[in-house]
Structure 1
């Protein structure tokens, strides 16, 4: 990490811990002669779950608090404690039936007291925060750097037990790091936008693994191409480094769009079955619902040298009526050239043997980032097409390229 000294490192520690909830089944019973007290259940105080109690007991946000009860006190030595109930446990079911009213728990205690030897099975959801062992258990820091061709990512993770024996899609369940990017600032909620990315890195033995769970529309879920990675375990510290080609995270273009939404997750297992919890830059923004609208902002500093032309492409309209126009936004800047060549190739996916439509146009370039609306008119008949758009300097240097399927539909019939 010697070349990372100038990077802006961000630390993650106890305040960023977000434990995965676990489910437990406990068996409730009342000893002979037990007399339940009004307002409790076998020595446990049960209340309706509220937003305040969710925060107090670190209940994960996916739980709808209106539908759950929570144990806010468990008396030492009580039947509830003997059964394994803990303060902060969220009650999911009793005898496989949902229970939403604290009075139902009082009635349950009365029934068990009247019938010594009878039992009730309670399923509870237990916060993962109780399983966090402090900074030695898991803590870390990360940094990003960017140049004309790559986004660089590094992380230093302190973890007393390193576990990773999975591969591909499943590596998130054990020790690894994940980054999520929203380069077009779509800021979607409840799911990724079409330009968002989620990539992870793991160390399995002496092998460094990389996986892409989400790419720009059309990119396959697999190991991204051209990514260089390295990881090493030194004592209780794991160091990760990655160089990601900018083409793999398009439309990321730091010179023209210096802001990028980002989230970082450090996963922890300590066992082979599943993830125990994680440190997350923005808690739950990636691991609970995919919410780029909550991502942190990553601000890149333009390099001021290297690439003669910087460009990025996003799409506003990828379907058009016959005779209409597809529409994209093209952002460019350069301190060395004043013009760029935009080339558009369009090939039919329904008739691959048909001729290729090719058009080129020259657009102006300024030293400061400038966004242009690019309309691509279509005289082609209705159908599916593959569009290939590239932006180059006059000398042929490629600045940006995008390939995507588009659809031309016939006019409405009256």
Structure 2
């Protein structure tokens, strides 16, 4: 579909689905009937195996084997084991990734560690409009560490200088879907002696990520979007192996200790990634994430990336051809776009609610953006085609003007 802007027939898109090498992956998910789910960039769909995996963890392991499960069922090794499963999806080695805590907590750990590794530099550099938790955590670090400050610059490369300790950026922008050039920005950070930290929350599992190839130092990401780990799933963090011996986690919890079950009074950091653990691993959440990662079994990321681009090209073609009044908020160049397409409209909230009422689930981001996520493992070309037709109808008939759709909910 690359480069095309005509609108195909339903038979055309059904032929694309029939030829899709990832088509059978949809069967790995328990998607509800009558719903076109275009919000996997916010919360991944439920894998069919998740409920049974969680039930096994709760009833057989916790219920039957109780505390013996830490050894018998490998609970204690879950953070490293799941990190090793995520590593191939982000271009990392198995011993460079660990699952722990939330994205926000992991950002705090790594920003503080990066600042402490660059003691003569004061600047934490990011961009305006970055995902709020990235900005808030950076601001919190700056108020915690004496002499540190946050700078937000639209031209990141131009803003990197000898006072920059760490550059903190999201690879795929949460609102627009714009994708940053990891190689170029990482190289610019290194040329100035700064460390580079990437937030992969809107990338991992949907677009190509090559942390080792671009020489990235640090990264974080969540487990509940394209990794399908469920709401509030544990997050992950990456530290390049070359930094394992030099970076220190500021959250010196007992699970990050070199010998946690010696129960010594003084902290001694574990080797490698385990030093970035803090509290007791959330085993039930990790079981759900493990099932989510199963959905990538025997899947080539090259196929995922190719389908993501084809789906988004089809969606953009449909918006251009069938949906006047919507303004494209995402880059049109597929190489500069992640796996969601965003459009702007003054009444994007109301349109989003009208679509949900018709079974098309996307989401809204203030002040005027409708986001439509494309998850290659379960989104079909027919889903995109049908969604466009429903969007066109909602716009043409202005059903979004129903006063019921103007009521704002707590979660958008």
The normalised TM-score by structure 1 is 0.21
Structure with bigger RCO (C-alpha 8 Å, 6+ apart): 2
Bigger Rg, structure 1 or 2: 1
Of Structure 1 and Structure 2, the greater strand share is in 1
Of Structure 1 and Structure 2, the greater helix share is in 2
